[in-house]
Structure 1
Amino acid sequence: MLALFGFTMVHAYEPIPITVSNTMDKIIFDGKWTFEYEWKASSLNTYSYDDGTSIVLRSAHQGDFIYVFLDPITDHNLNTMNDHAIICFDAKNNKSTKADLDDYCFMTSLGGRSGFAYQGGHYSAKNNFLGKIQNPEGFVAVSTMSDTNDRYTPVPHPSYEFKIPTDLLGRESMYGFYFAIYDAHTKKIYTYPQNLTVENFVPSPNHWGEIYSPDSSLPEFGIPMIILFLSIASLILFSKVKRGPSLQFR
């Protein structure tokens, strides 16, 4: 398997806006753009590289999950289980020089039906302090070939779908963010931030970019939090009604 971790140099980047959506729960997680409107209600960012490679990133959040679709639309050489993609989140966006406990990465390979999760704080510097962890509940990372239903090209090419639990990352309006796609045919790695000089696959978090919620809607309240909030509000209101207005004598 491809080595995961390495060194890089600092490059400028544009932060990625991530939109709130009400259709992400309709996605069919089969590793491809399955039907015409599947990823339409999501943020769109396109990255072009010096050799003519283009990668489309679609991202959104809904409820308890962040959704990411990586679409390397110019890769027409299909290398099953050798092409890879990884996405990483710095949950506190603290830009640490080595991966710590709030840094997470998620990887899958072309043809892979279940991905892998990694967390920082590992003892080994060889892997940039990232170690494999048990896949969290609800996590999805799959890949296959997108083709006729893809919005950008009908020519078969790898694509990667991810579903990441927000409770694992913590509910923030901004995360550090990184992605990399490895093309086994050319033996090149394509990254965000763009054109990083990466020896292997994942640099230290202080070289990652950022993904943010423009309307600060990303820390969506889950049902338990809503119930707790309503319960507290009801108790306060009941307490005020029970006491009634106070009388002041002058």
Structure 2
Amino acid sequence: MLELGLYACVFVLIFSAFLGANAFESIPITVSGTANKIIFDGKWTHEFEWKQSSLNTYSYANNTSIVLRSSHQGDFIYIFLDPITDYYLDTMNDYAVVCFDAANNKSPMSNIGDYCFKTSLQGETSTYQGGYSNGTNHFNKIPNPDGFIGVSAVSDINDRYTAVPHPSYEFRVPTNLIGRESVYGFYFLVYDGHSKNTYTYPQNLEFDSDIGISSPDQWGEIYSPDKSLPEFGFPTISLVLTMVLTLLFTVIVRKNPLTRIRNDKIRF
């Protein structure tokens, strides 16, 4: 029994470590057949515009909610951020940032494979690349790449979640820049210029950057199940469970008197 208890303790420790390392919920991103028809005006333009995309909703303090829609088609990833409870319209001050890391190496310092994209309400759009020793949080502003779109506007009655006007943000990110992968390190931030609060995925992150970028080791993940990628996390869990169950079964068989008798008869 002591041996069995030791194996159980090992399992609990391994499983706890796994959960601790993946405290965020990974985001599935779906393939779309209609994303190339999106009208990039910074809002949900018509009933079906972002319908063929993954849906994730995040809740924060003060009854704040942010909707994320994501999809990919061809050479682009499409992101729609909808802070549906921000009823104060702060032109140029409200903004959103999305970041991708194709290597998903969770490094504490950014590298040249880390890219972030920022757009402000009815304002300008910027692209940032990691790996710069003199940049803000090691990110430096670079020219916007070909094919990239980032735009923000005030929502209208076509918004799927509320008819109350609020900022919303649309992005089209070229995969020839960030790399074509089944799983990316992923991060977003939405800044409310009225309350001066920031809302992030993963939630409640801190950052030193004035552009709102946390270090890549704090980013979550976005993955594509339709690219033959198993749903994130389960392969690792299955491997751990298989190992532990095999060990437990071996211990039980060895300690079972009937098994020992059968083995003795076979040897006889």
- The TM-score, its normalising length taken from structure 2, stands at 0.75
Q: Does 1:103 align with 2:110?
A: no
Could you tell me which runs of 5 or more consecutive residues in structure 2 were left unpaired when the two chains were aligned: 1-20, 230-268
2:189 partner SS: strand
CA shift, 1:215, in A, is 2.2
Letter in 2 for 1:22: G
CA shift, 1:12, in A, is 2.2
Equivalence map 1:192-203=2 (5 Å): 192-200=201-209, 201-203=212-214
Task: Pick which of 202-211 and 116-125 moved more.
Answer: 116-125
Runs of 4+ residues over 3 Å off in structure 1: 197-200
Letter in 1 for 2:126: F
CA shift, 1:217, in A, is 6.1
CA contact (8 A) 2:102 2:181 kept: yes
Equivalence map 1:74-113=2 (5 Å): 74-112=85-123
- The TM-score, its normalising length taken from structure 1, stands at 0.80
1:215 partner SS: helix
Could you tell me which runs of 5 or more consecutive residues in structure 1 were left unpaired when the two chains were aligned: 1-9, 219-250
Q: Which residue of 2 aligns with 1:165?
A: 174
Q: Which of 175, 183, 189 is 1:180 aligned to?
A: 189
| Deviation per residue, 1:80-132 (Å, 9 max, x gap) | 000010000011101111110110000000012x511110111226x111001
Equivalence map 1:126-141=2 (5 Å): 127-141=136-150
2:78 partner SS: strand
Q: Which residue of 2 aligns with 1:215?
A: 226
Structure showing greater Rg = 2
Q: Which of 163, 167, 175 is 1:154 aligned to?
A: 163
CA contact (8 A) 2:206 2:214 kept: no
1:168 partner SS: helix
Question: For the residues of structure 2 that align with 1:34 and 1:135, how far apart are their CA atoms?
Answer: 24
Q: Does 1:189 align with 2:198?
A: yes
Change (3 A) 1:121 1:198: closer
| Deviation per residue, 1:52-95 (Å, 9 max, x gap) | 10000000000000000000000000000000100000111011
CA contact (8 A) 1:20 1:217 kept: no
Question: For the residues of structure 1 that align with 2:22 and 2:29, how far apart are their CA atoms?
Answer: 21
Percent of aligned pairs with the same amino acid? 66
Greater share of helix residues, 1 or 2?
2
Question: For the residues of structure 1 that align with 2:87 and 2:177, how far apart are their CA atoms?
Answer: 34
Question: For the residues of structure 2 that align with 1:198 and 1:71, how far apart are their CA atoms?
Answer: 22
CA contact (8 A) 1:189 1:198 kept: no
CA RMSD of aligned residues (A): 1.5
2:36 partner SS: helix
Question: For the residues of structure 1 that align with 2:228 and 2:195, how far apart are their CA atoms?
Answer: 39
CA shift, 1:162, in A, is 0.1
Equivalence map 1:118-129=2 (5 Å): 118-124=128-134, 127-129=136-138
Letter in 1 for 2:138: F
Question: For the residues of structure 2 that align with 1:18 and 1:202, how far apart are their CA atoms?
Answer: 22
Letter in 1 for 2:130: G
1:167 partner SS: helix
Q: Which of 126, 137, 147 is 1:116 aligned to?
A: 126
Change (3 A) 1:134 1:199: closer
Q: Which of 9, 20, 32 is 2:43 aligned to?
A: 32
Aligned residues between the structures: 207
